[in-house]
Structure 1
């Protein structure tokens, strides 16, 4: 059976007795639908009802301020992007980053050195024992990743970037390798050595400064991606105690001494094999060593536990589900529930993983993942995947500065207020039109949305 996602968005007028009018915009995400680069269409209702699935909005009850939606810049995606003619590059990046003519991505991630979606393992410090970083090289970054980010900034000058390493340089680890963690699990860690800690802090400093020289501000550093797992691609196991020690004694003092304002955050924690995020926030000294906590693939009960242990904890989402490269409509239809799980539990953002991959959809370590877009480098063609349509619409309406507000609905919902307008994101799983009865400040309006659709219902006061 086909399923769809419906986004109810944009209820204007917070005044009692306001008269409400509606319009509907939608994306068709039926199983056999091809996604276009501009996926939103206008819908004309075919009938009317006086009732429907109830949504009650409480605009005066407000929670966190949003930092927005985004995705990850990776080396494979950058290499694929620059295989296209310049006009095609610009159109694609406009679709992702322009607030007026595209999705308006606002808060994105990149890797410090190689991620699993780098072409192969690399760092900026390849000379063993170079504790003073005299041989630090940014040359490889300038080939694909830096210009990828710079091009995005042309379409959104307010774009914010956070960065994290998948591994330190190999010589700083017990194993001597950035990758191959599954082969050397007992040595896949940062050396517990003051000289190495100081060198690694200098490595981060040079990374941030090199980006600044090239016109890109790194908003925050998250110390280690998934510090609980040994993998064939770059990884590094880092216990919470070591992460806090490195931050407090080396990284933050290095940034402060050099007047670098980039934030330092713990994570990215998964709580998939252990409760390292819970350990971190439970310890006052550890949590005071950083500016916040980055989480991904984290069950909501653990997010609640973090907030119970540390009310007011600064946290952010760092990576969306990567799936298996099928890029199916079925997978895309799970995104609302996923995003709601983070936004509705206090995260100010959601970060999709691979924005762009090449025609193989594979990493440098030969495994497939989903992406918003695939580029065929030989044929010079662009494929917009089902996730693109879903994330495109979410980014349009979950922009920086929006406030999450309280709402009641018996299905997944995200509700925010921005400049006096209320946006409600909900899902329709029916194979027929569905009616939503929206209650705002004492007024009711019933809205029809199309079957198997991702829709934006715009409700304005007259």
Structure 2
């Protein structure tokens, strides 16, 4: 009996040791997928897998990945549906058009965009006709003449969105530049405030928009009342006024109509503006109950830390970066490009660094402005009374030459794709530190527990050791590149 017990004991110990050894061997032998886009010519190129080892193979600097410390949940990455983009797509043969959609929305073969923007009625790239709203009938407060006919046309936003949805799954946020003109005191500067008597009508306008889209197969996930409000170019409506509209008119109307949408607050022109303009409205805790998240634009170019300030003040409200682009002549960073659009791959490095820095300052979703434009950075809409002038050349994610039919995927496309394809909705940003001055990096853990680290090398080729839970591998990051490292946890 004693011998049998002893044998059983040693057999159990042996089994436990065997499991530990096998698990250790698995971690050491575990493959790391490597994807690279670089000035040398790689474009989301799958490289040879790397493997963990028990110790560092070189004395190079160390990047430490620690998924045990996590931060914000990531909702997605993407760009904007505008009529200008659909006009460009419709200039292509059907086969080429489908290839562009696949390259943007397919998560295996393309970018896999998951967070999109679609403006409410006209904006500066509503290029399929003149300026429009969904109800041009003066004093139609009950929205009896509300219609979305234009959005159902061949270049319309619903057509654009439904075609994209055949290639991937994404959420949509919708802001508005202007309410119908008749709701304002006037469109003169300083008078572009919605009359109080029209607040109920405006609430019905938003509700009808959401329901009309849903009736035509498009669900809008997030509603923003105004775009870049409380400035000179669009509505002069203050954020205090927006807060009152949400709390007392829009939210009650949406509840009454049974509309399923999350209300966002913001669409500021730049990051610092949020801390300057939100508090008078957002410090009202009653309003916060109606708000899902905060939205900012990136036209300050580099004031990322103000988003951490915003997060610290309103920690329960996620932050989305929902618009940024190059535009001549007014929206350019210091030493930015002078011609639009930008064909050089090297330009992607600027955008990649912006995404990383936004992520490291609590951004949960990142949306670029125009997804597709033509070889002239257009076509654009001209309506000076609505702040949309001529010669509005801008830079998109994808350039379609409407004359030659050539499609160009910009540097921005590739850097953005390293995030949208590999960092999926529900991922958590995780602690990822170290490296060297020329590297800018950020780490994530997807909902399936896979670890993803994106590393931007802003200089010459450099080697680093990656340390994950005491296991290491060394990698030479190519000059001026973005590298995605992905492994299972």
TM superposition score normalised by structure 2 = 0.81
State the partner residue of 1:8: none
State the partner residue of 2:480: 452
State the partner residue of 2:175: 164
User: Which stretches of structure 1, 4 residues or more, deviate above 6 A after TM superposition?
Assistant: none
1:185–1:453 Cα change, 3 Å: same
State the partner residue of 2:4: none
State the partner residue of 1:282: 283
Q: Distance in 2 between matches of 1:371 and 1:201?
A: 32
1:243–1:199 Cα change, 3 Å: same
State the partner residue of 1:9: none
State the partner residue of 2:132: 122
Q: Distance in 2 between matches of 1:75 and 1:23?
A: 38
Q: Secondary structure at the match of 1:261?
A: coil
1:205-238 deviations in whole A, cap 9, x for unaligned? 111111111111100101111113222xxx2122
Tell me, yes or no, if the aligned pair for 1:320 and 1:353 is still in contact at 8 Å: yes
Q: Secondary structure at the match of 2:467?
A: strand
Pair 1:334 & 2:350 matched: yes
Tell me, yes or no, if the aligned pair for 1:164 and 1:224 is still in contact at 8 Å: yes
Q: Distance in 1 between matches of 2:85 and 2:105?
A: 15
Deviation, structure 1 residue 443: 1.0
Q: Distance in 1 between matches of 2:278 and 2:366?
A: 18
Pair 1:424 & 2:453 matched: yes
- State the Cα RMSD in Å: 2.4
- Greater Cα offset, 353-362 or 315-324: 315-324
Matches within 5 A, 1:9-408: 18-19=27-28, 20-29=30-39, 39-43=43-47, 50-119=58-127, 120-143=130-153, 144=155, 145-156=157-168, 158-176=169-187, 184-191=188-195, 193-194=196-197, 196-231=198-233, 235-269=234-268, 270-271=270-271, 275-297=276-298, 299-324=303-328, 325-327=340-342, 328-362=344-378, 363-364=380-381, 365=389, 366-408=391-433
Unaligned runs of 5+ in 2: 1-22, 50-55, 329-339, 382-388
TM superposition score normalised by structure 1 = 0.86
Q: Distance in 2 between matches of 1:374 and 1:382?
A: 6
Q: Distance in 2 between matches of 1:170 and 1:51?
A: 65
Deviation, structure 1 residue 314: 2.7
Tell me, yes or no, if the aligned pair for 1:220 and 1:263 is still in contact at 8 Å: yes
- Greater Cα offset, 446-455 or 126-135: 446-455
1:407-441 deviations in whole A, cap 9, x for unaligned? 2125422110122221111211223x321210001
Q: Distance in 2 between matches of 1:57 and 1:153?
A: 35
Q: Distance in 2 between matches of 1:368 and 1:207?
A: 29
- The one of the two structures with greater contact order (alpha-carbon pairs below 8 A, sep at least 6) is 1
Q: Distance in 2 between matches of 1:172 and 1:330?
A: 46
Tell me, yes or no, if the aligned pair for 1:55 and 1:436 is still in contact at 8 Å: yes
Larger radius of gyration: 2
Deviation, structure 1 residue 16: 6.9
Tell me, yes or no, if the aligned pair for 1:73 and 1:148 is still in contact at 8 Å: yes
Unaligned runs of 5+ in 1: 1-14, 177-183
Deviation, structure 1 residue 74: 0.7
Tell me, yes or no, if the aligned pair for 2:349 and 2:481 is still in contact at 8 Å: no
Deviation, structure 1 residue 67: 0.9
Tell me, yes or no, if the aligned pair for 2:243 and 2:282 is still in contact at 8 Å: no
Tell me, yes or no, if the aligned pair for 1:68 and 1:395 is still in contact at 8 Å: yes
Q: Secondary structure at the match of 1:266?
A: strand
- Greater Cα offset, 203-212 or 326-335: 326-335
Deviation, structure 1 residue 44: 5.5
